[in-house]
Chains A and B, each alone.
Chain A
C-alpha cells in the first residue's frame, strides 16, 4: 500500500468533477419536490440532456450552446411530465417511471448518428492568480465553468427558497396546495415552472457526462446517476446545503475508493465499491436525524394530485 501516491489536490479536483451531474440533477429535483411534485423521471431527463447537449455541441461546435441545448432537451421532456401530471392528473410515480423509460429509449434513437464522435472540448477556466495558489489552485480553481455554475445554482436555489417571495409561494404550493390555491396562487402553473426548471437542471447534468466527463455519446451512459440524485434529495431532507453535501460526498467517496484501489489499500474491493452508497446515506441520515425528524422536512403535498374543484 502506498497512500503517498494519492495527491489530495487532484483528489479534490476529481471529486468536484465527479459530483457535478448528480448535484445539478439533485438540486433541480429538489425544487420540483419543494413544489410538491415527485418526478421520478430524473434519469430519463438526464439522458435526454446528455444526447441533446452532445448533438447541439457537435452541430454548433460550441459546448456552451450544447449545454443550453441540453437544458432545453431536459425541459421539453419534463414538460411532457408536467402536461400529464398537471393537466391530465395522472399518477406522478407511474408517470415519472414511464418518463425514465421513455427518455432512455428516445435518447438511444436520437443518438443513433452520434456514436463514436468527439464533442468540442470544454476548456478549463483560467482564473489567473487564483490558479497559482498552492493546493487550492489545483484543487478548486482549475475547472471548467460548469463546475462553478453548478455551485452557483445551488446557492441561487437556496437564496430563492429562503429569501424571495416567489420562493415562499413555491414552498407554500408544496406544503399545502389547497391552501395555496385558496390564496389565489396558480398551483398547476407554479408546479409546471418548477418541473421545467428541474428538467433543465437534469438535462445539463446529463450533458456534463456526455460533453465533459466521458466525453462521448453512448447509449444509457448516465447509468443510474438520476436515481442517485433522487435518493440524495430525500436523504438530504430537501435542504440545498445537505443536497450539496450529499452529492459531493457521493462523488468524493466514489473517486476516493477508486484511488484507494489503485494505491492497493488492504480493504476488500467489494466494500470499497459499495462505500459511496453506504457512506452517503449514513451521513445524510445521521445529520438529518439530529435535527427535527426527516418526515417533517418532506413537503406536505409531495406526490399528491391537485385539482381545483376540491
Chain B
C-alpha cells in the first residue's frame, strides 16, 4: 500500500511537472479510500470530475487514492505541492494535522480540508451537515423497523459520526418510542470484510434496519442477503441491495469544488469555513424505495423541506444527554460553534442510547 501510494505520488509529481508549461490551474485531491468504493471517496472523485467538466482546459486535476491517514498523507501532499498544485483538497478527517503541517511549508498553495476544524491563512475547511440527512433516515427507520432494533455501523468516535448517531436515534425515537439503537464501532473507514462481519453480527441479533457510517457497500450487500432493510452512505447504493435499499444520503461536493477552484483562478480565494446541508444541495438523497409507505415518504419529504427552509433544526430541544443532564432546553436549537455542547465538537450520546463512546 505504501509503495502504491508512493508510486502514484511520483506519478502525480511527474504529471504536474510535465504540465508546468500550460497555464492551467492545478487542483490535487487526496482520498482515504479507493475511488471505486462507491461511497465516500467515490463522491469526492465525482466532485473532481465536476470541476473538470465545469472548467475544462483551464484546470488540470490529479488525485491519489487510498492514502492512509498519518505520515503517508503528509508525504503525498508535499509531493503534490512540489509538483505545482495550486489547490489541494484533503478529503478525510484524519488528514487534519498533516494538512496544517504541509500548508505551513507551502504558503502559496491553497488547502481545503474536509470535515476538520483547524484552519490557517491558506487552509479552509468544509463539511456537510450529514446530521440533517441522518434525521430524515432516522425518521424512516423508526417507522420501518418491526423488531424495533436499528443497527448502526460506526467508524471512528469523532464528532461527525457521533452527531449522525444522535440525530438518527432522536428521530427514530420520536416516531417509535420502543426503538433501540445497536451500535458497532469498527475503527476503520473502509474494510469491506470487517464491515460485512459487523453487519452480520447486527443482523444475527435481530436488527432489521441497518445504517452505516463507513464507506464500502458491503453492509448493503449483507442486508440484501439477509432480507432486511438498509440505508446507503455517501453514494446511491441501490445497485448493491435492490430490495434492501431504502434511500441513501448522497454527498454532493461538485458545486463547492467548482466554486473553490474558480476562486483560486480569480484570485479571490480566502480561508473560509463552510458547513452546508440539505438547503444548498451538499446533502442530497437517493430516490426513495417503494418499500417506504406513501405517508412515511410524505413525512420524510416534509422534513427535508422544513430543514431546507430553516423551519426545523434536527437538534431542537428538549434533548437530554445520555447521563440525564440537559443538552437543549425546550425549543432551544443546537448551536454550531458556541459552548461546550457545540455541534462541531459533539462528544456525547443523547438520552436513551446505550453503551459508551470509545475514546
Residues on A facing B (Cβ under 8 Å): 5-7, 10-11, 14, 18, 21, 101, 104-105, 108, 111-112, 115-116, 118, 209, 213-216, 218-223, 225, 254-255, 258-259, 261-264, 266, 268-270, 273
Q: Mark contacts of B172-201 with chain A using CB atoms, 8 A cut-off: 1 yes-contact digit, 0 otherwise.
A: 000000000011110110111110111011
- Does B255 belong to the interface (CB within 8 Å)? no
22 contacts between A and B (CB under 8 A): A10-B204, A21-B193, A104-B1, A214-B221, A216-B192, A216-B240, A218-B34, A218-B37, A218-B190, A218-B217, A218-B218, A219-B36, A222-B193, A225-B193, A258-B197, A258-B201, A262-B151, A264-B182, A268-B356, A269-B185, A270-B358, A270-B359
Given contacts A219-B66, A258-B200, A262-B201, 8 further A-B contacts (CB under 8 A): A7-B205, A10-B204, A101-B1, A219-B34, A220-B34, A258-B197, A261-B183, A261-B184
Which residues of the partner chain A approach B359 to less than 8 Å between Cβ atoms? 268, 270
Contacts A108-B4, A214-B221, A264-B354 given; indicate if A116 touches B185 (C-beta within 8 A).
Answer: no
Contacts of B1 in A (CB 8 A): 101, 104, 220
- Sorted from nearest, which 6 A-B pairs have the closest CB atoms? A115-B36, A219-B34, A258-B201, A269-B358, A10-B204, A101-B3
With the chains together, A259 CA to B206 CA distance in Å?
Answer: 11
Known: A215-B221, A216-B221, A218-B36. A11 touches B204 (CB 8 A): yes
Residue of chain B at shortest CB distance from A105? B4
The answer on a CB contact under 8 Å between B196 and A213 is yes
Near A by CB (< 8 A), chain B positions 300-314 give none
Nearest-Cβ distance from residue B202 to partner chain A, whole angstroms? 6
Whether A223 and B191, one on each chain, are in contact in the complex, defined by CB atoms closer than 8 angstroms, is yes
Query: Nearest CB to that of B235 among chain A residues?
Result: A116
B38 at the interface (CB under 8 A from A): yes
Name the interface size band of chain B: 35 or more
Residues in A whose Cβ lies below 8 Å from that of B191? 223
Please tell me which one of the listed residues B38, B193, B206 contacts residue A5 in the complex, with CB atoms under 8 A apart.
B206
B residues in contact with A225, CB < 8 Å: 193
A263 to B149 Cα, complex, angstroms? 11
> Cβ of A262 and Cβ of B202 under 8 Å apart?
yes
The answer on a CB contact under 8 Å between B4 and A101 is: yes
